[in-house]
Amino acid sequence: MTDVPPSFDVIVVGARCAGSPLAMLLARRGHRVLVVDRASFPSDTVSTHFLHQSGLARLNAWGLLDRLRKTGVPPLRQMLFVNGDLSVSGFADPIDGITEVYCPRRTVLDSLLVDAAREAGAEVIERFGVDDVLFDDDGRAVGIRGTTSDGVEREFRGRFVVGADGVNSVVAARVGAEAYRTVPATGFVYYSYFSGLDWDYQNRTRDERQFASCWTHDDLMMVVVMRKRDAYREFRADVDAGFQGVIDHVAPDLGADLRARGRREEPFRAIHYADNYYRRSHGPGWALVGDAGYHKDPLTGYGITDAFVHAELLADALHLGLSGAEPIDEAVAGYARRRDRDSAGVFNLTVAMSELTLSPFLGAVLTAVSQSPGYRQKFFTMVGGGYPSEEFFAPHNLAALYDEVGTPAAGRILPAGAGAP
């Protein structure tokens, strides 16, 4: 060991959507925070990057939304969902004053977050890979051990260790955080960035094939294609043809447009993403946040938004503990309970949608929604995070929807149980 380990209040492993906001919020409250990442920023990652209004509201509350707007990312104020012959378009009510959504490149967004953590007073160390969590004799996490890009091993000690290190979390593995509510992933994703297209923000699905498009930085349109895993081998044999084939199949006019005018400006990014899961996210001296502790299919675009929301919840809990208002492990256990409760609706909806086929229940609801301007508005507000999905899908709410649009008795399908769909 080459140096005396410094001491921090909180050590955060991972500096993207969960880690940097957590570090920033704690540092702003005067806590001594270290955040480390094996990446060096600006850094891309294999993830599309749609941000819901409820996530943007967190950025706004932290004073970072105007900074994001100034990066030139275009605002989006209209959404289109198409599934088979069913089409629903509209946009949410303002959510905490946010009237638009964005799809910022991760190179831009993640750097902005890392900079904000540093400005708040957190110590940020890039190109540092964590190999281990350190424990005291009672099994309490007390620090980390890792390696710099030059191969130098270093240890850091802190009162609390947080894993914000994504789906393959080393912290989760070392503390033995078991997974629960695991649901196997169903799909794979290919995406890239195109010039020459002027499509709307849209998400279209037909016959277990899906694509979505969204404007992002540099006048480019992000286009993402999703299919079920059984199609992977065939798709991978000719990615250009597979990508084009999905759009041709789902929306032939846009397929023709892509062929005629679209120019792919960057290589395809591809991923067989991880299963849907929760992991136990609190224990003696440690916590997990972001994808390290809770992950779901990317198709509803909620990972970044949830990482923001849950980083703030965890920062509040850690502050209670560090300031002596509550025993720290109890405060953090409360964070994990609240995260699980508040995220269940999005988790269930995401898992249901990831089948790329509407269940009879979702088909009935969306058919009715497409016929009611008021419920369309409610639906998009739910999608944006401004209205709980549990309330949207509650039997009394759906019964009123079916009444309004005159759904015949046979089509009035209600949720199977609590926590549905």
Ligand X SMILES: Cc1cc2nc3c(=O)[nH]c(=O)nc-3n(C[C@H](O)[C@H](O)[C@H](O)COP(=O)(O)OP(=O)(O)OC[C@H]3O[C@@H](n4cnc5c(N)ncnc54)[C@H](O)[C@@H]3O)c2cc1C
- Site for ligand X, rule CB under 6 A: 13-19, 36-39, 45-50, 129-130, 164-166, 170, 189, 271, 273, 290-292, 298, 301-305, 307
In the complex, what is the shortest distance from the CB of residue 136 to ligand X, in angstroms, rounded to a whole number? Answer: 21
Calpha distance 308→291 (Å, rounded): 11
Structural contact between residues 173 and 25, judged by C-beta atoms closer than 8 angstroms: no
In the complex, what is the shortest distance from the CB of residue 327 to ligand X, in angstroms, rounded to a whole number? Answer: 26
| R_g over Cα of the chain | 22
Closest to 170 (Cα-Cα) out of 327, 64, 279: 279
In the complex, what is the shortest distance from the CB of residue 368 to ligand X, in angstroms, rounded to a whole number? Answer: 27
In the complex, what is the shortest distance from the CB of residue 398 to ligand X, in angstroms, rounded to a whole number? Answer: 27
In the complex, what is the shortest distance from the CB of residue 138 to ligand X, in angstroms, rounded to a whole number? Answer: 24
Closest residue to ligand X, Cβ-based?
303
DSSP-based three-state secondary structure for 405? helix
In the complex, what is the shortest distance from the CB of residue 165 to ligand X, in angstroms, rounded to a whole number? Answer: 4
Using the minimum distance from each CB to ligand X, give the nearer residue, 165 or 390: 165
Calpha distance 73→68 (Å, rounded): 7
Using the minimum distance from each CB to ligand X, give the nearer residue, 144 or 368: 144
In the complex, what is the shortest distance from the CB of residue 15 to ligand X, in angstroms, rounded to a whole number? Answer: 6
Calpha distance 355→349 (Å, rounded): 11
Using the minimum distance from each CB to ligand X, give the nearer residue, 101 or 247: 101
Structural contact between residues 386 and 378, judged by C-beta atoms closer than 8 angstroms: no
Closest to 189 (Cα-Cα) out of 323, 356, 315: 356
In the complex, what is the shortest distance from the CB of residue 272 to ligand X, in angstroms, rounded to a whole number? Answer: 9
Calpha distance 172→280 (Å, rounded): 9
Closest to 41 (Cα-Cα) out of 118, 144, 100: 118
Using the minimum distance from each CB to ligand X, give the nearer residue, 35 or 362: 35
Using the minimum distance from each CB to ligand X, give the nearer residue, 148 or 397: 148
Using the minimum distance from each CB to ligand X, give the nearer residue, 102 or 402: 102
> Interhelix angle for 373-383 vs 395-405, to 10°?
150
Using the minimum distance from each CB to ligand X, give the nearer residue, 310 or 420: 310
In the complex, what is the shortest distance from the CB of residue 130 to ligand X, in angstroms, rounded to a whole number? Answer: 4
Residues 6+ apart with CB under 8 A from 228: 186, 187, 208, 356
In the complex, what is the shortest distance from the CB of residue 248 to ligand X, in angstroms, rounded to a whole number? Answer: 22
Closest to 8 (Cα-Cα) out of 30, 24, 37, 32: 32
Using the minimum distance from each CB to ligand X, give the nearer residue, 166 or 421: 166
Structural contact between residues 85 and 77, judged by C-beta atoms closer than 8 angstroms: no
How far is Cα of residue 206 from the mean position of the Cα atoms in its chain?
A: 24
Q: Where are the beta strands (DSSP E) in 216-334?
A: 221-228, 263-264, 269-271, 276-279, 282-283, 286-288, 294-295
Structural contact between residues 102 and 76, judged by C-beta atoms closer than 8 angstroms: yes
Calpha distance 416→36 (Å, rounded): 44
Closest to 120 (Cα-Cα) out of 15, 244, 261, 263: 15
Using the minimum distance from each CB to ligand X, give the nearer residue, 169 or 370: 169
In the complex, what is the shortest distance from the CB of residue 273 to ligand X, in angstroms, rounded to a whole number? Answer: 4
Using the minimum distance from each CB to ligand X, give the nearer residue, 6 or 415: 6
Backbone angles phi, psi at 377, to 5 degrees: -60, -45
Using the minimum distance from each CB to ligand X, give the nearer residue, 45 or 182: 45
Calpha distance 199→65 (Å, rounded): 25
Would you state the structure tokens that stand for residue 124, as one six-digit string? 């940020």
